[in-house]
Chains A and B, each alone.
Chain A
Amino acid sequence: MLLANYIASLLCVLNTVLAIWPQPVEFEHGSKVLWLSPGFKVHYKFEEPAGILGTLQSRLMPWWYEHTTSIVDQSSKDILDAAVGRMRNDLISTSADSPSKVFVPWKFHPKDAIPEPGTVKYENIIYSITFLFRRPYTLQPQIEESYSLDISSEGHVLISIYHPLGGLQALTTFRQLFYKHSDPSEATSPYTPYIPLSIKDVPVFEHRGLNLDISRNIVTPAEVMRTIEALAMNKFNRLHLHASDAQSWPLEIPALPELAIKGSYHKDQTWSVGDLHEVQTFGALRGIQVYLEIDMPGHTASIHAAYPDLIKSYNRQPWPNYSAQPCAGQLILNNSAVTNFVSTLLDDLLPRTEPFSALFHLGGDEVDANAYDMSPSELAPYLQDFVDHAVSKVHSHFLTPIVWEEHILDYNLTLPNDTVVQAWRARTPNGRSAVAEVVKRGYKALFGTNEYWYLDCGFGGWRDPDLTNPDSPVKSPYLDYCSPLSNWRHIYSYDPLADIPESQQHLVLGGEVHMWAEQTDGMNLDSNLWPRAAAAGEILWRGKGVVSEDVTRRLAEMREWLVAKGVRAGPVQVTWCLMNPGNCRQ
């Protein structure tokens, strides 16, 4: 309600192309040019200096969950100073060796017709950016990320925010306003042709995430940090690391040292405590909570390498009877050794991840009752006990549990009402989406169905044919289970609230786009993620969207930003079409 009032109070939307992705909620702009001074300054002002200053100068964390405590020992100002410093490095070319990460927008104008400004004039320069911290009247997460950005014709930049998170989002927008001049002598500082400018912006969904599988193939911390940069550019605020699966356990757990040494693909390809800390810190400074999933009790065959006694039906054949993919194997239920293992695991991991995120994902997808030689209904009570224990551990560390939808939709488990349920199946037997089923039962939900938002779909099957099996499902044309590939328009056409009654929509916290890694590793991660994930980013920021040429062109500009930043995103559109607006329509 508060959010709706806030939005309603804003300006009318001008239907002009301003190449910001995701598109701000409200904006208007002129066409005057301003240049950004290489030495631009930053000022901080406070709407209510007394008292509130203390709050703002407190820790970055908790973002909004009051129960979390922080080890990120930086003030709000430090966080924004760091973000401004990164932006300065991106926008300003200091030498030939460190070129700016800005591009000449020649692809977006007819040939030899970039509307470029002439030389820098004294009065057309932005010398400073002012952050105004407004009195926070709400703890609603979307308001914390909201911002307004005004740039006057005289070059005064005012960013109004309630929280440093809003400042980070404002800087992400600010950065996208600038272009590089094609004349190298003018290219040391960038220009913006959108002045005067007024933007008011606030996300629709509070949870805007990417689920990245770092277990099935190797994705290094450096690659994850590059992905965090790209996520931040698209105003995502969550990175869900699917950190363990049947195939490998890359995460080092000092209390259980054998787990990663034996369970990872290679002992030198693990995530150390330091790696995880570095990645989570990297995300936190960019407004992205990096949270972990330990998937259990299914998808746990990799534990067997270190703890064989904990796994039931390990590598049982034929594997399709016991798991969705090889290797079969699930944690034994109703077993004190497993309970102790889970306790040790979570007591080690949760305190380390807790400073960076209020969330912890306990997995729970695709638990196969056959692996326990039980029917689903026989299995459910044991599963309930297992999940109760894991959830109690998460609660004891003051975190919010997330589980996959199957726990409630397939096994009818009862979970505490703070549990967030991540839905992934497009349809349940009664025809409704899994998200709709989750919120109908009163749980908070995350959307992101495999019919729209699975980025791994459509690359073809990875299974080899079993030559001894005359009924092998591996046959021409060798499609995967979720073919075809979800192209960016398809991703953009996903309406997550389509079948959810208005009275239940408040339970939908947001969603995630998914990158499962059967056929993805660091080499092709960028091009499998981008630019398609950016399409999901705009839906998460703005809600349901409609494809149009304007959307194509803005996404194509985002793609150029990503490439300039070093992210290997494929092209959105034929260059000719971008240079000739209106000519590639059907």
Chain B
Amino acid sequence: MDSYSIVQAAIARTKDELSNDNFVPWKFHPRNSIFEPPSNVSYGTISNVAIQQNSTDPSNVLKPLAGAVDESYSLIITVNGAVMINAVSSVGIIRALETFTQFFYTTGDGNSIYTNLAPVYVQDAPKFQHRGLNIDVARSPFSPHDIMRTIDAVAYNKFNILHLHATDAQSWTIQIPALPPLADLGAYMKGLSYSPDDLAAIQTYGAYRGVQVIIETDMPGHTAAVGLSYPDLVAALNVQPGWANYSAEPPTGQLKLNDSAVYDFLEKLWADLLPRVNPFSAYFHTGGDEVNANVYGLDPTVNSNDTKVIQPLLQKLVDYNHDKVRAAGMTPVVWEEMLLQWNLTLGADVVVQTWQTDTAVANVVAQGHKALAGDANYWYLDCGRGQWIDFAQSTAQAAWPFADYCTPTKNWRLMYTYDPLAGVPANATQLVLGGEVHIWSEQVDGVNLDDMVWPRACAAAEVLWSGSKDASGQNRSQVTASPRLSEMRERMVQRGIGAGPVQMIYCTQNGTQCAS
């Protein structure tokens, strides 16, 4: 796998998408109107696409730290049919070719592919360097095929990160050959886990598309699934009833915090997993969200729910993990609680992923740390589907109408208004590497994944690529975004992504008729 093969693969995909996955754009013109180029006129024909890479790829082109690979490009299509693509890196060429495909339509007779937008001049570069989708593959099963299909869709939208939330309380999805029982017993079913080959295939698939696949093994919270194979390592394993005192969701359980056996376990885990991930990832996510202090009152190695007791032990664990991540040649990512709630001292290299409030990003960068945006109030794709917890008859009435904690649904318009830089002082914006849109999978699996993520995640992708404000500093216009999003949805459907419609066809056929 080298720059040449990456670009060649991108060219092959581009040809395939243009010839096989294109569409007739009738939904975007008045009904029964003639919108195709008349056949009695002669047109320029594109027979060559000149691609020029202006620089040699850096050695880490497959797995850059944020900003280390230049994704900018220019694209020119003349009326005569000359096409010139210029980019600094092979990833820039991938982005340019994606843009190129989006200029083309199929004629109604299916015989020709055309663009009616020539001459075209595009100069493009991303606003944010970390543009990700976080997909929870632990709470519900997702096949490697589901993930690869999602990588396709992610790449269509010029995201460059797929964050796999690969372990949680409910299941452990990554096979660790050094610790075979972990996935054998911790996955929902033996075999419903990712083998080393699966993981390498997923990461390779991403790398060919300019999408770095980052792995998260969440700890010390969200680790009850470890208890299925190593019960002695987990405190407060599946407390019932009364789980709500010990975790946000059942089952409860956190890695014991002051136990040498836990460190022995982690040493084996890291020695096995990190070298396998390293060829494809600059980052490794060690989790750290929702650590519950009460659990450590039940942890015989801690015996206290006092944060003053817990904090230094947490610091030690995170230091240990992060040293291992660094030693394996990667940069640690943690959830915001480690910094903002537990006040841990983190290395300057650590990226802090925020999610909880609209001030978290500003608070992280105020402490001089790099931050990822992705506020649950805007960018949680799972919100609004209702409670999944069961209620006894005695509690059901109080729970009516069974709304979930982050209701309502975050529709694309709301997602489109989210500014990752909100509240961040101008002199600290460089610390905001970008952000991620999140799909937690309590009520999502491979069957409804596409519909839950797309087209809404496209709105986040545009914010991350272009910023949430236009050149005049105003929020980007939904009026112009809406038909473009509808068109993107049509392309994605043609390419095999089960994305729902953005609007009625009536609206897309009739310009601004659906404004009020």
Q: Is B60 an interface residue (CB 8 A)?
A: no
Which of the residues B32, B387, B506 comes within 8 Å of A489, measured between beta carbons? Answer: B387
Q: Closest Cβ of chain B: how far from A33's Cβ, in Å?
A: 21
**Within the assembled complex, what's the spacing in Å between the Cα atoms of A11 and B410?**
48
**Within the assembled complex, what's the spacing in Å between the Cα atoms of A488 and B390?**
12
Tell me which of A71-79, A126-134, A148-156, A455-463 binds B: A455-463
Given contacts A574-B388, A575-B171, is CB(A464)–CB(B444) below 8 Å?
Answer: no
Among residues of B, the one whose C-beta sits closest to the C-beta of A471 is B516
Given contacts A326-B506, A583-B251, is CB(A571)–CB(B499) below 8 Å?
Answer: no
Count how many chain B residues have C-beta atoms less than 8 Å from C-beta atoms of the other chain: 80
Q: Closest Cβ of chain A: how far from B71's Cβ, in Å?
A: 30
Q: Closest Cβ of chain B: how far from A407's Cβ, in Å?
A: 25
**Within the assembled complex, what's the spacing in Å between the Cα atoms of A577 and B503?**
36
Q: Closest Cβ of chain A: how far from B193's Cβ, in Å?
A: 12
**Within the assembled complex, what's the spacing in Å between the Cα atoms of A547 and B392?**
8
B417 touching A476, Cβ below 8 Å: yes
Q: Closest Cβ of chain A: how far from B475's Cβ, in Å?
A: 9
Q: Is A548 an interface residue (CB 8 A)?
A: yes
Question: Please, what's the 1-or-0 string for B476-516, where 1 marks a CB less than 8 Å from any CB in chain A?
Answer: 01110010000000000100001111111111011011111
A463 touching B515, Cβ below 8 Å: yes
Which of the residues B238, B411, B482, B516 comes within 8 Å of A319, measured between beta carbons? Answer: B516
Q: Is B49 an interface residue (CB 8 A)?
A: no
Among residues of B, the one whose C-beta sits closest to the C-beta of A560 is B447
Given contacts A247-B504, A464-B479, A524-B498, is CB(A490)–CB(B513) below 8 Å?
Answer: no
Tell me which of B183-191, B263-271, B273-281, B316-324 binds A: B183-191
Which of the residues A523, A568, A574 comes within 8 Å of B442, measured between beta carbons? Answer: A574
B515 touching A465, Cβ below 8 Å: yes
Among residues of A, the one whose C-beta sits closest to the C-beta of B238 is A583
Contacts of A95 in B (CB 8 A): none
A477 touching B516, Cβ below 8 Å: no
Q: Closest Cβ of chain B: how far from A3's Cβ, in Å?
A: 27
Q: Closest Cβ of chain B: how far from A60's Cβ, in Å?
A: 34
Q: Is B386 an interface residue (CB 8 A)?
A: yes
A464 touching B478, Cβ below 8 Å: yes
Contacts of A582 in B (CB 8 A): 240
Contacts of B32 in A (CB 8 A): 261-262, 267, 305
Q: Closest Cβ of chain A: how far from B137's Cβ, in Å?
A: 12
Q: Provide the main secondary structure of the chain B interface.
A: loop
Question: Please, what's the 1-or-0 string for A538-552, where 1 marks a CB less than 8 Å from any CB in chain B?
Answer: 000000001111001
Q: Is B140 an interface residue (CB 8 A)?
A: yes
Given contacts A318-B516, A319-B516, is CB(A111)–CB(B189) below 8 Å?
Answer: yes
B385 touching A485, Cβ below 8 Å: yes
Q: Closest Cβ of chain B: how far from A396's Cβ, in Å?
A: 33
Contacts of A319 in B (CB 8 A): 513, 516
**Within the assembled complex, what's the spacing in Å between the Cα atoms of A464 and B396?**
38
Q: Is A252 an interface residue (CB 8 A)?
A: no
Given contacts A327-B506, A490-B386, A577-B250, is CB(A461)–CB(B413) below 8 Å?
Answer: yes
Which of B244, B478, B499 is most buried by chain A, counting CB atoms within 10 A of its CB? B478
B506 touching A584, Cβ below 8 Å: no
A489 touching B240, Cβ below 8 Å: no
Given contacts A266-B26, A568-B448, A575-B140, is CB(A586)–CB(B395) below 8 Å?
Answer: yes
Q: Is A93 an interface residue (CB 8 A)?
A: no
B251 touching A580, Cβ below 8 Å: yes
Interface residue tally on A, bucketed by range: 35 or more
Q: Is B4 an interface residue (CB 8 A)?
A: no
A247 touching B506, Cβ below 8 Å: yes
Tell me which of A199-207, A221-229, A513-521 binds B: A513-521
Q: Is A62 an interface residue (CB 8 A)?
A: no
Contacts of B478 in A (CB 8 A): 464-465, 474
A524 touching B499, Cβ below 8 Å: yes
B515 touching A466, Cβ below 8 Å: yes
Contacts of A493 in B (CB 8 A): 396, 400-402
Contact residues of B between 108 and 157, Cβ < 8 Å to A: 139-141
Q: Is B35 an interface residue (CB 8 A)?
A: no
B500 touching A474, Cβ below 8 Å: no
Q: Is B414 an interface residue (CB 8 A)?
A: yes
B448 touching A569, Cβ below 8 Å: yes
Question: Please, what's the 1-or-0 string for A473-495, where 1 marks a CB less than 8 Å from any CB in chain B?
Answer: 11011110001111111100100
B514 touching A585, Cβ below 8 Å: no
Which of the residues B26, B250, B447, B514 comes within 8 Å of A464, measured between beta carbons? Answer: B514
Which of the residues A478, A487, A575 comes within 8 Å of B170, measured between beta carbons? Answer: A575
Q: Is A98 an interface residue (CB 8 A)?
A: no
Contacts of B506 in A (CB 8 A): 216, 246-248, 265, 326-327
B443 touching A570, Cβ below 8 Å: yes
Contacts of B243 in A (CB 8 A): 583
B479 touching A523, Cβ below 8 Å: no
Question: Which 5 A-B pairs give the minimum distances between C-beta atoms?
Answer: A487-B386, A460-B411, A524-B500, A570-B448, A247-B506
Besides A216-B506, A325-B514, A575-B141, 18 other A-B contacts (C-beta < 8 A): A218-B505, A327-B510, A464-B479, A472-B515, A478-B413, A485-B386, A489-B387, A489-B402, A519-B501, A523-B499, A524-B498, A524-B499, A574-B388, A577-B388, A583-B250, A583-B251, A584-B250, A585-B392
* A residues lining the B interface (CB < 8 Å): 106-107, 111-112, 216-218, 246-248, 261-262, 264-267, 305, 315, 318-320, 325-327, 458-467, 469, 472-474, 476-479, 483-490, 493, 517-521, 523-524, 527-528, 546-549, 552, 563, 568-577, 579-580, 582-586
11 pairs, A vs B, C-beta closer than 8 Å: A106-B188, A326-B506, A465-B516, A467-B477, A485-B385, A523-B493, A524-B498, A577-B250, A580-B250, A584-B388, A586-B389
